[in-house]
Amino acid sequence: MTSADSARIPRHIAIVMDGNGRWAKLRHRPRTFGHNAGRKAVRTVVEGCLREGVKVLTLFAFSSENWQRPQDEVGALMELFVRALDKEVDELHGNGVRIRFVGDLGTFENGLRQRMTAAMSRTAGNDALHLNIAVSYGGRWDIVQAARKAAEAVARGEIRAEEIDEQLLGHWMCLADLPPLDLFIRTGGECRVSNFLLWQLAYAELHFTDTLWPDFNQDSLKSAIEDYARRERRFGKTGEQVARKA
Ligand code: FPP
């Protein structure tokens, strides 16, 4: 792969995996059937990212708002996460994947939280792909928790309030130690961000597809990456300025 090719591979992809419920409905099956099929799509996309050389994949598995879904669906999703952790961690670890859960982990019951922590510690030394799973996560929650940390640092006298700028606050946001988000993908036909990674999305390229999440496969990932590769990223500069630097 030439360096020109690798510049066209996004280093960091984030995905809103939408459409599991509709996929199941089309098959006259319960929504949980769709979530199970969604889990297989997660596997496919992780393999695709490893193959394409994507360094970071961040998946929206459960939003702060998803707690409001019917209790049996929430329960089934929690069970699915436990089963996925028990079944998939060995293989992910074998493939050099580092797993990280991001979100308000304090909202989960003990057993699940311990499994999450164990998976994170076990894979902490891996570097082939950073797989971040956002659970009980909301972009506004992320900004609030960063602001709270900044306020605490001021209260301890470590920084002055006037010193808080984008760079300093950004340092407390989730995923701050990883490459910035390049490509945001949402499946399932809706064109909205739904409170995912609000801060981190500032300069990301957005790709929306009608494909329902369980149908998202290697080809879908490739076409999203090709779509990204065609974009000109200007970061607020003019096209001429960007061309001069290339
Ligand atoms: C949105 O589809 C999907 C979710 C709320 C759950 C996402 C979970 C998975 C893909 C399961 C596996 C994940 C991991 C990390 C093991 P929806 O239910 O809102 O679909 P709809 O819009 O068609 O109703």
| Ligand 1 atom with minimal separation from the 73 CA | 18
Query: Does the active-site annotation cover 66?
Result: yes
Per-residue pLDDT of the chain (246 residues; tens, 9 = 90+): 544 466 699 999 999 999 999 999 999 999 999 999 999 999 999 999 999 999 999 999 999 999 999 999 999 999 899 888 889 999 999 999 999 999 999 999 999 999 999 999 999 999 999 999 999 999 999 999 999 999 999 999 999 999 999 999 999 999 999 999 999 999 999 999 999 999 999 999 999 999 999 999 999 999 999 999 999 777 777 777 677 766
Q: Which of 5, 66, 86, 127 is catalytic?
A: 66
Query: Does the active-site annotation cover 195?
Result: no
| Alpha-carbon torsion, ordered 51, 187, 175, 234, to 10 deg | 90
pTM for this model (two decimals): 0.93
* The pairing of beta strand 205-208 with beta strand 183-186: parallel
Strand, helix or coil for residue 21: helix
Ligand 1 atom 15, closest CA? 61
The residues spanned by each domain of the chain are 8-245
| Ligand 1 atom with minimal separation from the 88 CA | 16
Contact indicator for 102, 177 with CB cutoff of 8 Å = no
Contact indicator for 134, 103 with CB cutoff of 8 Å = yes
16: β partners:
60, 186
User: 3-state DSSP helix/strand/coil percent for the chain, to nearest 5?
Assistant: 50, 15, 35
CATH superfamily, domain at 8-245 = Decaprenyl diphosphate synthase-like (3.40.1180.10)
18 Cα to the center of ligand 1, angstroms: 6
**Which candidate, 5, 11, 13, 8, places its Cα nearest to that of 229?**
8
